[in-house]
Structure formats: structure tokens, C-alpha cells
Amino acid sequence: MSVKHALGRGLEFGRTVFRLGILKPAGRVTAKFRGERLRFCPQARSAQPAPVQPLLPVRYRYLRVSLRGLAARLQADGFRRLAGGGSPRTRAVFLAFGAGLGLIEQQLEEDRSTAATCREIQALFQKKKFQSPLKAFSSGYKLEDYVIGKQIGKGCNAAVYEAAAPFAPFRDDSKCSLVELNPNGEKTEAPESLRIPSTRSRYPLAVKMMWNIGAGSSSEAILNSMSQELVPADPQALKKENGEIVLSGHFGSVPKRATAHPNVIRVYRAFTAEVPLLPGAEEEYPAALPLRLNPAGMGNNRTLFLVMKNYPCTLRQYLQVCVPDHRQGSMMLLQLLEGVDHLCRQSIAHRDLKSDNVLLEFDSVGCPRLVITDFGCCLSEEDLKLSFSSRWVNRGGNACLMAPEVATAVPGPGVQIDYSKADAWAIGTIAYEIFGQPNPFYSPAALESRSYQERDLPRLPSGSPEQVRLVVRLLLRRNPNKRLSSRVAANVLHLSLWGRKTLSRLDPAGTGRLADWLLCRSAVVLLQGWGRSCVEAELQRGFLSNLDLEELRTAAGYLISSREPGPSVSV
């Protein structure tokens, strides 16, 4: 390498570093050089480096530990050769590479500081747990404890009824109706089936009665057969008699219990009881009734009952009469991503996400709050992988919104289906419904997840936020390795909603501004108070309690690349 070439490479590297804003003030750099040189003199070789929590993976541990020392050695040798003579080529090489490694070490030091800030913020907000809107109660383990009202929902394996109990009052902050949230600002009357029930204040609970066909009538058999429904159950949902309740579950192990989250349904009570003749039963689901209630029925005498909060409507019903504005639509999409990320962190895949399985209510300022429900098809496995040895293995519900890697899986020995990003893909399809367009995987467009091409996806409305279009495009990638995870997708929306000004000044390689913004955001959320129950406050608290620097920088990188000149990323 010639002297000219070596100096040119060094100057080029220096200009790049200055452009990225990595260099520290000259005084700090000089002090660092001196400190590193003294640290690695022969008398100090036995000193051990301070323990750090760097960003690089574990396999680069040697590089993390030795990079600082290598930079100092090269810098010291360069200065020594500069003072004591030596060929120009050697001096240039030592100075160029020593300075380069020193600058890299400064960037790693900044990353370590920002990662430590993220951990401290995360620890602070994780101490504050989500509080249920239902006050604690000790009763309600029998069907006779509840007053059952009219039917408010029906699926393919259960019916839902409104209910009330004197021992279970709610803290209800919602005050808006579908009619009040009409996007045109007019009080147009919604169809009767889509109005918020006026009796909800009298019936704050909902009782879900499972249809028991073929599971047997013993409590143990019922709980074993329907164990997935217990995934979102409260720790006190099941009454423990004669010791612990033991379940085997559909997948051979006790199902995980998802911890409380504002965007995941909570089951407050679960118990077995004899099937009663409830309103509309003979007309709506006669085949699910037992013989004592219907001579042609195929159901068993006992079944599982689940007690939950009574929500006004489903997401599908809401979107039939209302189109949320762009900010509310972004927060609705963000809530679904936060709920799925919460489940993924606990190794739970829903596997049946659709607008019918998302319940909706309104917070104190009229913003829709979404809650994921109906866990009858969920998978609860450590690595979110399911052995697909034969075609009889259940891949999940709703074939139309089944992720490509699930829909195209071919059964065979050793084949496994990875569900880690399947729910995130389904959220990408629901985004079309939230922003006022038909789901492209339903009729009439009817794209098929097993065969569609990304170029076939329709465009979201031109007025929809650019960041939403970016997220939807990346969520609907066929290759799961190139698809955004629910956490990174949520971070993209968080940054676009709360950190737009910071993002406009953020450099791709710098993290200092990001750390400053996180500290300011944390202070704002704390000053606003933890008791706020509005959706915006809940989203910000959830974001700060799940901070991870690598995932945050990945999200920022997508946003920065989308604002730079290049190919369009809109859907």
C-alpha cells in the first residue's frame, strides 16, 4: 500500500465519521488516547477491563474486549514511530488504522451507554403492572352466581351472553358510542345490531359457553380438551380443589398463561357446569345442546364457561360504520402489534387473528381500545414451532389469513411450522380494513396467501401515513426472514407517532439523540401520571417497558431509509 493510498483511505474514513456525527470533541479524544496508552503500558498489562454489556453478539466477545486495547496499541505505535522515525508507509498505516479503530471504539462506547439507558428505563416501567378494570373478587365459580342476559355473540364453537354479578363491579371509563365517532361528524344512526348495547352498564360481564361435542362430561376431560381457552386466564380463574388442577392440553403440556396486557382479553373465571337452555339456544345452536334439552342434539351435559369483560362490539362491527382518522388508525394498528408482541414474548401464537376476534371499546377521550380474544386455536410452545408430521395436524383457524409459510407447509417427517411471525402477517392484512379498504385476502379481491406476489397487494389510501404503508408492506412479505417482527413493526409506529422531530435529526449510526429522546419521553410519561387509562398513555408505557436498543435501531433504520431518495416503499 502506497503512502498516498493509505493517507487517502484514512482521510476518507475521517470524513465519513464526521458526516455521521460519531467523533467526540478533540479534548476527549486526546484524553482517551492518553488513557488507553497508559493503561496498556507493560506495568499495567495485568489490569482487567471493566465488565460491559455491549451490543455485539456473544460470538464477538473477543473483539469486544480487545478492540479498545488494539486501537490504543496502534495509536501509541503510530505516535512512537512518528517521533522516532520509520518509513512513511508504516507511519501512515499505523496512524490510519489506529485512528479508525479508536473511532469504532467510541461508537461502541456510545452504544453501550444508550443500551444501559434503555435497560434502566425498561426496568422502571416494568415495575408498574397493568391493572385490570375489574376489581378483585373471590366468588363467581358457579353459573348460579351470575345473572345471564341476552346473547351478544356466536362463533363456530361457542356462544357469548351478557351477564352481571353483584360482586364484580367495573371501573368503566368509556363514554363514546359508535354513533358519536362517525367520521363525518354527523349523528347518523347505526344499524341496531351495531349499536353499543344500552344494557352494558347493567351487564358489565360476558359469559362464553363453549359447545361440548365429543369431549365428555367430566370436568377433567373438558378442561383437557379446551385448555387453549385458558391461555388468557387470570391466575385465580380456576378454583383449585383437592390440590392443584393438572391439565395435559392439546399439545401435550400445560398451556402457558399469558400475563395481563391492555390489548389481550382477560378471563376472570373458568368453570364447568351443566348446559342450560339460554335465550336463543334452540334457534341458534340446537345441535350443540344435550339430549335432555334437544332430542336431536349432539352435545354433552356439561361444558366450559368463561367469564370476561363485556365489550361493546368487535373490530369488524366498528369498521362497518366508522372509518377512524389516520392517527387513530395508526394507534389501532399499533395496539394489535403490541398485543401480538406480548404473546410472542411468552411463546404464544394466536393463529386465528381476524377482525371478528378483536373486541373494541372506547377510552375516556373516545379513542378505540382493541383487545385480542378467542384463543381456541392458539399454540403454546417454547419456540413457537409445531411439528407438522401429517395433514391431520391443526395448522390454525381462518385459512384466508394464514401466513404463507403456514399455508404452503407440506407435512412430512421432521417438518416444523414456525409461527413466530405468522400473527404479524395477519395484522398486516387487517390494516387494510382499519384504513377503510377491503381485506385483500377476502372476496372479491381474494388473493391467496399461498400464491400471492407482493406486487399484487393493493395500495393503501394515498392519505394514509407513510410509516403505516411502510409497516404494512414489510409485514406482508412472503419470506418470514425478511418480514418485520411485531416488536420492530410496533417500534416503527412508536417512533413515527411520538418521535417524529427526533427521527428527522437522527443519524443512521448515532444513538446519542435516541437516548436523549427516550429520557425525555420517559419523563413526560411519568409526569402525566401512571393512573391515566387512555390508549395513548397505555401505548407509551408499553413501549418504554419493552425497550431494546437493537430492535429500536432496526426500526429507526427502516424509517431513515424510507425518507432517503430511492425506490418507493408505499403499498
CA distances to 162, 227, 238, 255, 453 from 270, rounded to whole Å, are: 16, 11, 5, 14, 43
Catalytic residues: 352
The whole-angstrom separation of Cα 233 and Cα 238 is 8
Give pTM, 2 decimals. 0.77
Phi–psi pair at 165, nearest 5 degrees: -150, 135
**Residue 295, SS3 per DSSP:** coil
**Residue 349, SS3 per DSSP:** strand
**What does the pLDDT read at residue 176?**
46
Residue 295: beta bridge partners? Answer: none
**What does the pLDDT read at residue 522?**
87
Cα angle, residue 260 at apex, residues 259 and 261 outer, rounded to 5°: 120
**Residue 457, SS3 per DSSP:** coil
Closest CA to 204 of 176, 158, 167: 167
**What does the pLDDT read at residue 246?**
47
The whole-angstrom separation of Cα 217 and Cα 226 is 12
The β-bridge relationship of strands 358-362 and 416-418 is unpaired
- What homologous superfamily does CATH list for 143-169+204-310? Phosphorylase Kinase; domain 1 (3.30.200.20)
Contact 72, 101 (CB under 8 A): no
> Which grid cell is 459?
395500495
The whole-angstrom separation of Cα 312 and Cα 205 is 11
**What does the pLDDT read at residue 442?**
92
Contact 114, 512 (CB under 8 A): yes
Contact 161, 207 (CB under 8 A): yes
Task: Please provide the DSSP assignment of 204-233 as one string.
Answer: -EEEEEE--SSS-SSHHHHHHHTGGGGTTB
Handedness of CA 121, 122, 128, 131 (dihedral sign): positive
Strands in 21-145 per DSSP E: none
* Every domain of the chain and the residues it spans: 3-126, 143-169+204-310
Question: Consecutive 10-residue runs of the chain (571 residues): their mean pLDDT?
Answer: 53 53 44 41 40 44 49 57 55 52 58 80 78 70 93 92 82 48 43 50 91 86 88 85 45 67 94 93 93 93 94 95 92 97 95 96 92 93 89 89 95 94 97 95 86 93 90 96 95 89 60 77 81 83 89 86 52 39
Closest CA to 337 of 475, 476, 234: 475
